[in-house]
Amino acid sequence: MIPLAAGQILSQEAGYILLALFSVLWVGLGLWWGRRATSYDGFSVAGRNVGLALATATTVATWITSNTTMLAPQFALQLGVWGALAYSTASFGLFAFAPMSARIRQLMPNGYTAVEFVRRRYGTPGAIPFLLISLFYALTWLISMSMAGGKLLNILSGIPYPIGMSVVICVCVLYTLCGGMFAVIGTDFIQSVIILIGLVVVGVAVLTQVNIPEIHENLRTERPMLLAVLFPAALMALFNNLLFGIGEIFHSNVWWSRAFAMREGVGPKAYVLGGLIWLPVPIVAGFLGLAAPALGIGISQPDTVGPLVAATLLGYGGAVLVFIVVFCSLASSIDSLLAATSDLMVNDILEPLAATSLSDASKRRWSTYSIILLGAVAWSCALPNVGSLATVLFLAGPMVGSCIWPIVGGLYFRRAGPIAASASMLLGSLAGLIAYYGIGWFVGSLVGAAVSGIVFALGCFLFPAQFDFLTLSQSPETSAEEPQRELT
């Protein structure tokens, strides 16, 4: 038996056993579900026939990421009550995307990616910045979750960070390769059930172990700002995270690929139900961050406060449960990102460069190469373990915030043109990044979305276009290369 280090809950032996069991389980399920992915359409969008139960489950599982279970407590620890509520505002992105998913399905019944929509809606000037933003965001999300996996395994069982992080990435790459979106959605269903049951058990168990009035009194006397209604940084984080969550969902191919995969009419219901189920999760997780100071638990890395508090209060069984919940939340999001981002690389980089339509077999083969490449890049960037999860993830905040208005305008307004779209994304991203480095991570998305909105409105007024939405339902080969014209 390997001895436990100071502060360690599980032995390394127990950690390796749990890691091996769930690795085999997810790869096996990926093989099982992936048997149906016999074509590229099946591999990338699950045959476009996903029903309500699986659609809701994959929405919940994908949005309950390691960032939910580990960043929500960090927000509460550093920003107080507003911090926990700030993270829960990400559910509004799911609510807002519900009607948009029906619009997307209607406009592009045979579409694959968000970048494909932007390219056909705004042409090359809008597609290039949007593609770069999408790839950058996908990589920051992948890296942050890979880091979370390594940190979780290390703090709970002492498994070295590089080993834990490497295993998490390799397992997700393997089972995503086995069956693409079929494997992702199938495993998401099981993972969502495990996550929700685990969170309920952990939440109830923690509440029986702590004295809430005592925690409140400790915060009031020792850290009153965590309870302050007018805590400036917390209030900015509240609106910043709201816009970050909306920008994440509106622009990310993770959610667009699901809109294309869901059966017609299912998307709006699935996204609303998913948002309702997800809404209380960060609030429950955030309570762990508020409890840490009163319990006297030393926190060396703020993004590990949630798992550490739960495992400390609940002992060995709690550590095992936390391990399972966070491992499932990691896998359910990493696999989605790998599958959706590989679609971008195949459909929006490789096929345009080839200047011809790739065969079904070629797309499937290049999807495999893309998934492996993405896993390798995420691994190499996560290996140094630099920064916290918040600083890594929210680095993309200014850019995703700047995509909100071009997406909304592109879906609903004929006058939105390429100049307005490209200028709003570029200037919004620049302003948001200046705020990110000059003020803090908690204002980047807020500034990016605000500047982008102003620029987009001015661009539509000064350079209006007249777009025919019917061209989006045609095959790309029959659509015009530049589908809009500027009005004089």
| H-assigned helices in 108-160 | 114-122, 124-157
| Residue 96 structure tokens | 């807002």
Looking at residue 341, what is its pLDDT?
A: 92
**Confidence at residue 45, expressed as pLDDT on a 0 to 100 scale:** 87
pLDDT at position 389 is: 61
Q: Is the pLDDT at 412 greater than 90, yes or no?
A: yes
| 8 Å CB contact between 26 and 296 | no
pTM over 0.95: no
Average pLDDT estimate for 214-223? 76
DSSP secondary-structure letter at 262?
Answer: B
Neighbours of 236 (CB within 10 A): 19
User: Would you state the structure tokens that stand for residue 349, as one six-digit string?
Assistant: 């980089």
**Cα distance from N-terminal residue to C-terminal residue, the chain:** 78
Query: How far is the CA of 348 from the CAs of 139, 177, 209, 353, 474, in angstroms?
Result: 16, 20, 52, 9, 17
Is 43 or 474 the better-scoring residue by pLDDT?
Answer: 43
Q: Kindly state the average pLDDT of the residues 474-484.
A: 51
Q: CA angle at residue 49 from 47 to 53, to 5 degrees?
A: 130
Q: How far is CA 430 from CA 118, 145, 241, 400, 404, in A?
A: 20, 25, 18, 12, 15
Q: What is the pLDDT of residues 11-49, one digit of tens each?
A: 888 889 988 998 898 888 888 877 777 788 888 888 888
Number of H helices, E strands in the chain: 22, 0
Neighbours of 358 (CB within 10 A): 16
Tell me if residue 50 falls in helix, strand or coil: strand
Q: Give the separation between CA 1 and CA 151, rounded to whole angstroms.
A: 22
Whether 483 has a pLDDT exceeding 70, the answer reads no
- Which residues make Cβ contacts (< 8 Å) with residue 17, sequence separation at least 6? none
**Overall average pLDDT of the 351-368 stretch:** 86
Q: How confident is the model at residue 66 (pLDDT cuts 50, 70, 90)?
A: low
In the chain, domain spans: 16-388
d(CA 149, CA 151): 6
Nearest to 226 by CA among 9, 80, 380: 80
DSSP 341: H
* Three-class secondary structure of residue 486 per DSSP: strand
Cβ atoms of 29 and 183 within 8 Å: the answer is yes
Between residues 37 and 454, which one has the greater pLDDT? 454
Supply the pLDDT for residue 1: 37
Supply the DSSP symbol for 465: B
Helix axes of 66-79 and 232-251: crossing angle, nearest 10 degrees: 160
pLDDT of residue 6: 39
170-174, 285-289, 408-412 — most confident range: 408-412
Query: Which residues is 50 bridged to in the sheet?
Result: 262
Phi-psi region of 359 (alpha: psi -120 to 50; beta: other; left: phi over 0): beta
User: In this structure, what are the phi and psi dihedrals at residue 465, rounded to the nearest 5 degrees?
Assistant: -120, 170
Tokens of 53: 């139960």
In the block, tokens 């058990």 appear at 201
Q: Hey, CA dihedral for 411, 417, 421, 422, is it positive or negative?
A: positive
Q: How confident is the model at residue 487 (pLDDT cuts 50, 70, 90)?
A: very low
The DSSP secondary-structure symbol of 444 reads H
Residue 383 φ then ψ, to 5°: -55, -40
Distances (CA, A) of 209 to 214, 215, 312: 12, 12, 11
338 DSSP assignment: H
185 close to 177: Cβ distance less than 8 angstroms: no
| Rounded-to-integer distance, Cα 97 and Cα 63, Å | 13
Residue 122 to residue 174: CA distance in whole angstroms: 36
- Domain 16-388: which topology? Sodium/glucose cotransporter (1.20.1730)
What single-letter amino acid sits at 2? I
Rg (CA), the chain: 22
Q: Which of 38-52, 278-292, 346-360, 409-423 has the highest average model confidence (pLDDT)?
A: 409-423
Q: Give the C-alpha separation, 165 to 153, whole Å.
A: 8
Instruction: Report residue 439: phi and psi, to 5°.
Output: -115, -55
Paired strand residues for 262 = 50
